Amino acid sequence: MPNPSATIRRLAPADLPLMRALNALFGEVFEDRETYAGAPPSDAYLTDLLAREHVVVLAALRESAVVGGLVAYEFDKFECARREVYIYDLAVAEADRRKGIATALIADLRGIAAARGVWMVFVQADHGDGPAIALYESLGTLEEVLHFDIPPGA
């Protein structure tokens, strides 16, 4: 793995400014500022979220700037006694790509997952997102699946 040009840090409840900076980065990278900044959660909500063991938020920092990060959720399975981790969001600022930051973020998450006895880490990628697909293929096995968003309620 390349030596990343950033330090990886798991965010804790005291890291609200970094969490808000990471949210802004997600909005920029995913070109979806409305989702990530349109209705920001309260400090109390984010503090509670960052205190939960099953929520993993990692930030890639260069000096004090957030240049990448990921958010992952651990959940219990029902078919057998095991847990999995789902990488929900992973992004690196455009100027900081191809420097090993995404790989380092995933490596840190894999270490956390192993320490917690997790069976598998998984992630989705969009069709046409060649760099993400290449990264994930270098780390794991491709599963062909379809993803559906189903709204709650009847």
Domain boundaries, the chain: 7-139
Interval 128-152: pLDDT, tens = 767 767 777 777 777 777 666 666 6
Per-residue pLDDT at 72: 97
The CA distances from residue 117 to 31, 82, 113, in Å, are 35, 8, 6
Question: What does pTM read for this prediction?
Answer: 0.86
Query: Which of 28, 17, 27 minimizes the C-alpha distance to 59?
Result: 17
Question: Is the pLDDT confidence value at 58 over 90?
Answer: yes
Rounded-to-integer distance, Cα 105 and Cα 94, Å:
16
Q: Is the pLDDT score of 1 beyond 50?
A: no
**Please, which pLDDT band fits residue 153 given cuts at 50, 70 and 90?**
confident
Question: What 8-state DSSP symbol labels residue 94?
Answer: G
Q: pLDDT by residue (tens digit) across 46-56?
A: 999 999 999 99
- The band of 88, judged by pLDDT with boundaries at 50, 70 and 90, is very high
Query: Which one, of 33, 23, 81, 30, lies nearest residue 57 by Cα?
Result: 23
The single-letter DSSP state of residue 42 is P
pLDDT at 11: 98
pLDDT at 36 over 50: yes
Taking only the tens place, the pLDDT of each residue in 2-28 is 456 799 999 999 999 999 999 999 999
According to CATH, the topology of domain 7-139 is Aminopeptidase (3.40.630)
